Structure 1
Amino acid sequence: MIDQISKIYIKTTFQLHEEVEVFSWFRILFVENEGMAWGAKIPGTYGKLFLTLFRLVAIVGIGYWLWDSARKNASNVLLVAIALIFAGAMGNIIDSVFYGILFEDSVRNVATFLPEEGGYGTLFHGKVVDMLSFPLYDSVLPSWIPIWGGKPFTFFDPVFNVADVAISTGVGLLLVFNKKAFPKKTENVAA
């Protein structure tokens, strides 16, 4: 819910690439992602459709994994991690599937919800709304650094959303608490 509320707020309040500096290291920057992480795209006429259909299949698999893990009384760490991944994936899928028909384009204007003329795309061809930017270092590198010295550099340039945070947190929990998430079963040995 937080993900969708924040995306709808940004989409209906900001123009594409509009930015608000909250702190020097945190900005709200409205961008739309047509493809995968960091704006990567699957080329071709059907690339976006293929990506959206793949995401739908993946969410079914993640949903089954969550249901099966809950049924088997898996550890709370595993259940929370899968739930975060599922919720984040669902948030981005909603954008990919529906935003093309629910909103008008955000280029040079603030998008309206359910425009009379129709949306900017078709079903399964929506763009994912991203808005969280943390440029922790945004300056020119010292000239003494070989190759890159004297050139502008931004550390942590990606722009992301709440759904991406949920997915990353879920994956991080699985990595950090791997032994708790996937405990080894011990066999009872009769003496």
Structure 2
Amino acid sequence: MPRVLLAAIAVAVVIIDQWSKHYIQSQMLPGMSIPVIENMFHITYVLNPGAAFGILENQRLFFIVIALVMLGLITYFFSHIPDNFRLMRLGVSLLASGALGNVIDRVQTGYVVDFFDFRIWPVFNVADIAIVTGVGCVIYTLVFIPFPAEYQEN
């Protein structure tokens, strides 16, 4: 997958993430919930001061530093991913764009705006979807795709 396409996907994820969060913030009040499918899927405006499941609440600086370090490492190591590992490259791009989307929120407000609410899972956002999908792509590649001989130990 060409780097330009991966960059375009990453930029699109950040734009969609930030636009959707802005829309929720402009149309709803924190805690407000709109049922889409009653008792199954709601749009619920949540300001999350922590990570997944609300862990490590109010550790804004910690999350910003971790995200920036991760983005730096991804930027540095991306060129070392073999070209034929397209799924891994896509996964890393999604992971980076999701992390960037959430770090933008943390820098601006100290919170991450979440709104997809399936009632059996913590409320999440577009950036979280990108992160989880990206991690899934990376794990799938590491587990199921054989590395080229030049990357294997003798």
Shorter-chain TM-score: what band?
0.7 to 0.9
Identity across the alignment (%): 37
Counterpart position of 1:48: 60
Would you tell me which structure has more helix in proportion to its own residues?
A: 2
Cα pair 2:31 2:46 within 8 Å, conserved: yes
Moved beyond 6 Å, runs of 4+: none
Q: Is 1:175 the counterpart of 2:136 in the alignment?
A: no
Deviation at 1:186, TM superposition (A): 2.9
Decide which of 116, 121, 128 is 1:132's aligned counterpart: 116
Matches for 1:47-86 after TM superposition, within 5 Å: 47-69=59-81, 72-86=82-96
* Larger of the two Rg values belongs to structure: 1
1:42/1:51 contact within 8 Å kept: no
Cross-structure match for 1:106: none
- Residue 158 of structure 1: aligned partner: 122
Q: Distance in 1 between matches of 2:111 and 2:25?
A: 11
SS class of match (1:159):
coil
Q: Give yes or no for contact 2:96–2:131 (8 Å, CA) kept in 1.
A: yes
Q: CA deviation at 1:52?
A: 1.6
Native 8 Å contact 1:133 1:160 kept in 2? yes
Equivalent AA in structure 2 for residue 14 of structure 1: M
Counterpart contact for 1:3–1:91, Cα < 8 Å = yes
Cα deviations by residue, 1:98-128 (Å, 9 ceiling, x for unpaired): 2x2xxxxxxxxxxxxxxxxxxxxxxxxx210
Bigger Cα displacement from structure 2, 23-32 vs 57-66: 57-66
- In structure 2, what is the Cα distance between the partners aligned to 1:157 and 1:36? 14
Q: Report the Cα distance in structure 2 between the residues aligned to 1:33 and 1:27, rounded to whole angstroms.
A: 17
Q: Does 1:22 align with 2:31?
A: no
Retained in 1: the 8 A contact 2:85–2:141? no
Aligned length: 134
Output the TM-score relative to the length of structure 1: 0.64
Q: Distance in 2 between matches of 1:39 and 1:11?
A: 19
- Shift of the 27–94 alpha-carbon distance from structure 1 to 2, 3 Å rule, reads same
User: Aligned Cα RMSD in Å?
Assistant: 1.8
CA distance in 1 between counterparts of 2:26 and 2:112 reads 14
Residue of structure 1 in register with 2:8 after alignment: none
Q: Residues 115-130 of structure 1 correspond to what in structure 2 (within 5 A)?
A: 126-130=110-114
- The answer (yes or no) to whether the contact 2:116–2:123 under 8 Å persists in 1 is yes
- How much does 1:177 deviate? 3.8
* Structure 1 stretches lacking a partner, 5+ long: 101-125, 136-155
Change (3 A) 1:51 1:186: closer
Question: Please, what TM-score do these two structures have when normalized by structure 2?
Answer: 0.78
